[in-house]
Amino acid sequence: MASQPHIHCPRCQWEPRIDSRWYCAPGEPGSGCGTRWHTFWTAGCCPGCGHFWEMTQCFSCKQSSPHQSWYHYPSGDDEAQRRQEALETAR
Ligand SMILES: [Zn+2]
Ligand SMILES: [Zn+2]
């Protein structure tokens, strides 16, 4: 039984909706192709230009946080291992 990480904003606990869409804006080096997509389906990778977003913006508190900090795992688990699995599953 694979347990999925819980995804929510590390600052305000807002959870992305199934129809939430992020915009590839020119905010990081190499980004800015204008694609709209659900960033947690691709582990932060823009499907338009292949840019991996370091930071992910919350639509509730409007703050950007490191993409990995949105994934929350049950305590006691090996976070690094599960983090890697989450990335591979998303590809
Ligand atoms: Zn892009
Ligand atoms: Zn937030």
Number of domains comprising the chain: 1
- Which residues line ion ligand 1, judged by CB < 5 Å? 24, 33, 35, 46, 48-49, 51
Tell me the residue range of the domain where 25 lies: 17-90
Does 4 fall in a domain?
A: no
Going by C-alpha positions, the residue among 60, 44, 62 that lies closest to residue 52 is: 44
Q: How far is the CA of 41 from the centre of ligand 2 (A)?
A: 18
One digit per residue, the tens of pLDDT, for the chain of length 91 reads 567 899 999 999 999 999 999 999 999 999 999 999 999 999 999 999 999 999 999 999 999 999 999 999 887 555 566 666 666 666 5
Does 44 fall in a domain?
A: yes
Residue carrying the six token digits 């932060």: 44
Going by C-alpha positions, the residue among 52, 20, 55, 59 that lies closest to residue 38 is: 20
pLDDT at residue 37, as a whole number: 98
Does 7 fall in a domain?
A: no
Q: How far is CA 42 from the centre of its chain?
A: 8
pLDDT at residue 55, as a whole number: 97
pLDDT at residue 1, as a whole number: 56
Q: How far is the CA of 2 from the centre of ligand 1 (A)?
A: 30
Does 31 fall in a domain?
A: yes
pLDDT at residue 77, as a whole number: 55
Q: How far apart are CA 74 and CA 77, in angstroms?
A: 6
pLDDT at residue 89, as a whole number: 66
At residue 46, what is the residue type? C
